[in-house]
Amino acid sequence: MASLDTLFEAARAIQAKAYAPYSRFKVGAAIATPSGQLFIGCNVENAAYPVGSCAEAGAISAMIAAGESRIAEIVVMGEGEHLVTPCGGCRQRIREFATPDTPIHIAGPEGIRKRFTLDELLPFSFGPDNLTDR
Tell me the closest approach of the beta carbon of residue 57 to ligand THU, in angstroms: 8
CA–CA separation, 77 and 80 (whole Å): 10
Which of 56, 68, 81, 110 is catalytic? The answer is 56
If the CB atoms of residues 1 and 112 are measured against ligand THU, the closer one turns out to be 112
Draw the binding track, 50-89, toward ligand THU (x: CB under 6 A; -: no contact).
--x-xxx-----------------------------xx--
DSSP state for residue 53 in the 8-state scheme: B
Size of the site for ligand THU (CB under 6 A): 13
Buried b (16+ CB within 10 A) or exposed e, 15-46: beebebeeeeebbbbbbbbeeebbbbbbbbbe
Cβ neighbours for 36, distance < 8 A, ≥ 6 positions apart: 1, 2
56 is catalytic: yes
Chain residues in the site for ligand THU (CB under 6 A): 20, 23, 25, 27, 43, 45, 52, 54-56, 86-87, 90
